């Protein structure tokens, strides 16, 4: 009986050892798999973080581009708004001058800007004049300048030549070019003294000269306006004379 017990004990010990070995192998296998899984997870996390960082950089870049575009658009809108306000104010001022001269200076039978001593307007000259006026009213001063210059050169004796020369001065005046504006307005008075726009030109000439710090010359133009056209633009003329400190106006 004792001899049979030893093999049984040995078999039992071997079985226990085998079981422990298998358990150890299983545990090690499980740990290895877990480590591999953890390593894969870390790689995935690193990759995901990299993707998020890249997306964040792209987002910041797009945000900066949008910010710059908004700033540029805002500046453009402000520029358009300022330009529109300036054109509207200029148009209102010129409309008032046209109304004053047509009612206060009856040099011709009609209220339109005509020159009584010049040749009647032809259909071609009238069309050219109207096209130039349309450009001016649209605020396209550069194109209007060219159109009025062409008109004065092509039709120097036309009844609208004096008015065209005046509006040529307005294209310069509206853009702040006081030197050219003064020269253009002076030419109206010297070349077309009978034009309904002659008194308007003297007033604009005075304002242009004042802007050029030529106060003495500006006062001379205002005195000439008072002497030859005492009732035209009287309130505005007196205001300018007071502002410039001119000598007491003639025929006040």
- pLDDT tens, the chain, 252 aa long: 545 555 555 566 666 676 777 666 767 666 666 666 666 666 666 666 667 766 666 666 566 556 555 655 555 555 555 555 555 455 445 544 433 433 333 332 233 333 344 545 566 888 999 999 999 999 999 999 999 999 999 999 999 999 999 999 999 999 999 999 999 999 999 999 999 999 999 999 999 999 999 999 999 999 999 999 988 888 898 999 999 899 654 555
Phi and psi dihedrals of 212, rounded to 5? -90, 10
pTM of the model: 0.52
CB 105 within 8 A of CB 232: yes
Q: Is residue 52 part of a domain?
A: no
Q: Which residue range is the domain that position 198 belongs to?
A: 88-244
Domain of 94: which CATH number? 1.25.40.10
Residue corresponding to tokens 């899984």: 37
**Residue 10 located in a structural domain:** no
Residue 238: partners with Cβ closer than 8 Å, 6 or more residues away: 249, 252
234 assigned to some structural domain: yes
C-beta neighbour count of 135 within 10 angstroms:
20
Tell me how many domains the chain contains.
Answer: 1
DSSP type of residue 115 = -
What token pair was written down for 151? 């008109």
Q: Assess if residue 72 is contained within a domain.
A: no
Cβ atoms of 145 and 171 within 8 Å: the answer is yes
Q: Is residue 212 part of a domain?
A: yes
Q: What are phi and psi of 121, to 5 degrees?
A: -75, 140
Can you tell me the distance from the alpha carbon of 90 to that of 139, in angstroms, rounded to the nearest whole number?
9
Cα–Cα–Cα angle for 142, 146, 152, rounded to 5 degrees: 140
Residue 12 resides in a domain: no
């Amino acid at each position: 009986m004792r001899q049979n017990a030893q093999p049984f004990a040995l078999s039992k010990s071997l079985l226990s050892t085998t079981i422990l070995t298998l358990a150890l192998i299983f545990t090690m296998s499980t740990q290895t798999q877990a480590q591999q899984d953890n390593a894969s997870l870390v790689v995935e996390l690193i990759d995901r973080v990299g993707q998020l960082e890249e997306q964040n950089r792209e987002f910041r870049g797009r945000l900066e581009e949008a910010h710059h575009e908004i700033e540029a658009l805002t500046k453009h809108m402000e520029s358009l708004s300022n330009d529109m306000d300036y054109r509207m104010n200029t148009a209102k001022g010129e409309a008032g001058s046209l109304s004053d001269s047509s009612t206060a200076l009856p040099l011709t039978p009609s209220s339109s800007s005509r020159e009584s001593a010049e040749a009647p307007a032809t259909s071609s000259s009238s069309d050219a004049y109207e096209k130039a006026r349309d450009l001016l009213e649209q605020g396209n001063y550069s194109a209007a300048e060219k159109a009025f210059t062409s008109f004065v050169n092509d039709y120097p004796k036309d009844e609208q030549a004096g008015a065209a020369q005046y509006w040529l001065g307005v294209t310069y005046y509206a853009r702040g070019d006081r030197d050219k504006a003064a020269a253009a307005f002076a030419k109206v008075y010297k070349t077309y003294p009978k034009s309904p726009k002659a008194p308007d030109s003297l007033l604009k000439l005075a304002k242009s000269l004042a802007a050029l710090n030529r106060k003495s010359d500006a006062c001379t133009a205002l005195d000439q306006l008072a002497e030859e056209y005492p009732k035209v633009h009287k309130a505005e003329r007196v205001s300018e004379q007071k502002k410039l400190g001119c000598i007491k106006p003639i025929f006040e």
